[in-house]
Amino acid sequence: MTFLLRIFLAAAALVAAGAYPAGALEISGTFIQGGLATGKVEPGTKLTLDGQPVAVAPNGSFIIGFGRKAKAKMVLRAEPPEGQLEERELAIEKRKYKIQRIDGLPQRKVSPTKPEDLARIKSDQIQIAEVRKRTTLKTFFDTGFMWPVEGRISGVYGSQRILNGKPRSPHNGVDVAAPRGTPVKTMGDGIVALVNEDMFFTGKTVMIDHGLGLTSVYIHMDKTTVKEGDFVTKGTQIGTVGATGRATGPHLHWGVSWFKTALDPALLVGPQKTGK
């Protein structure tokens, strides 16, 4: 076996294992649509993903996420303050998504037409978008992630939603059905960036900023137990399971985003401990 072939096979093994060869630019994670990767560069490095700037913490840490329709190949480019420019072509695995049909929803929550409803929806969207613009140069996510609640998985990431027979946007999170009042805990360390007691579609809603553009959202809750600005650690109770907003029964919708890119929360954690 030639030396070059051995190098190629070693690199291929690293990619298959969810990592790329170490160097000035280090990265590992889940390279699949909906996945998240973390990495390290020299502090002060200018980093881009397909030409778009990527936030880098003062210690050189960074994260990147891959959306529901992420391209098969993406280019990560690192330009250190001193030294050689480095590029990595990331291979992103494609997924197949389910179709989920949900009936019995109030028609007002599927096809709203009243001016007051449309105004609420617009206000809600602005509040959520503002949180997802935040670039907190902290790595709160370093402590890892956990399930915010355990129960029956009633909705999965990426599925095409058919609501009352009408196609709607894909599902950008995981739904976990659990009894009303079940404690909901934050998936990881972070700052409470939003608490809203009555959003039109999502009802009682909490959003957590985990740093570098990574946020999580917990919706349809029956009660919230934190306030904006609180610092919470992984496992801190932030509310209870409910059925507020657009819901047919008690469950938690758990979403994770890297800025505007919706990720698959289930890829961040292992199987539920209860095996449900």
CATH of the domain at 168: 2.70.70.10
Q: Are residues 64 and 150 in the same domain?
A: no
- Which of 31, 65, 91 terminates a domain? The answer is 91
Q: Are residues 66 and 105 in the same domain?
A: no
Residue 166: inside a domain: yes
- Which of 68, 91, 114 terminates a domain? The answer is 91
Q: Are residues 187 and 232 in the same domain?
A: yes
**pLDDT tens, per residue, the chain with 276 residues:** 433 333 333 333 334 334 444 457 999 999 999 999 999 999 999 999 999 999 999 999 999 999 999 999 999 999 999 888 999 999 999 998 877 766 766 766 667 778 898 999 899 999 999 999 999 999 999 999 999 999 999 889 987 767 666 666 677 899 999 999 999 999 999 999 999 999 999 999 999 999 999 999 999 999 999 999 999 999 999 999 999 998 889 999 999 999 999 999 999 998 887 655
Q: Are residues 166 and 226 in the same domain?
A: yes
- Which of 70, 91, 112 terminates a domain? The answer is 91
Torsion of CA 258, 262, 268, 272, to 10 degrees: 150
38, 79, 236, 261 from 144: Cα distances, Å: 12, 28, 14, 20
Residue 275: inside a domain: no
Helices (H), the chain: 3-16, 107-110, 115-132
Give the C-alpha separation, 74 to 53, whole Å: 13
What is the per-residue pLDDT for 123?
Answer: 93
**What single-letter DSSP state applies at residue 42?**
-
What is the per-residue pLDDT for 11?
Answer: 37
User: Rounded to 5 degrees, what are φ and ψ at 204?
Assistant: -70, 120
Which amino acid, 98? K
What is the per-residue pLDDT for 77?
Answer: 96
Q: Are residues 84 and 203 in the same domain?
A: no
Question: Which of 193, 188, 210 has the alpha carbon at shortest distance from 65?
Answer: 210
Question: Which of 137, 139, 160, 151 has the alpha carbon at shortest distance from 185?
Answer: 151
What is the per-residue pLDDT for 82?
Answer: 85
Reduced to 3 states (helix: H, G, I; strand: E, B; else coil), residue 204 is: strand
What is the per-residue pLDDT for 165?
Answer: 65
pTM for this predicted structure:
0.85
Residue 37: inside a domain: yes
Range of 54's domain?
3-91
Residue 276: inside a domain: no
* Structural domains of the chain, count: 2
- Say which CATH number the domain at 66 has: 2.60.40
Tell me if 6 sits within 8 A of 66, measured CB to CB: no
Q: Are residues 184 and 212 in the same domain?
A: yes
Q: Are residues 126 and 225 in the same domain?
A: yes
What is the per-residue pLDDT for 274?
Answer: 66
Torsion of CA 226, 121, 258, 142, to 10 degrees: 0
Positive or negative, the Cα torsion across 133, 135, 138, 144?
positive
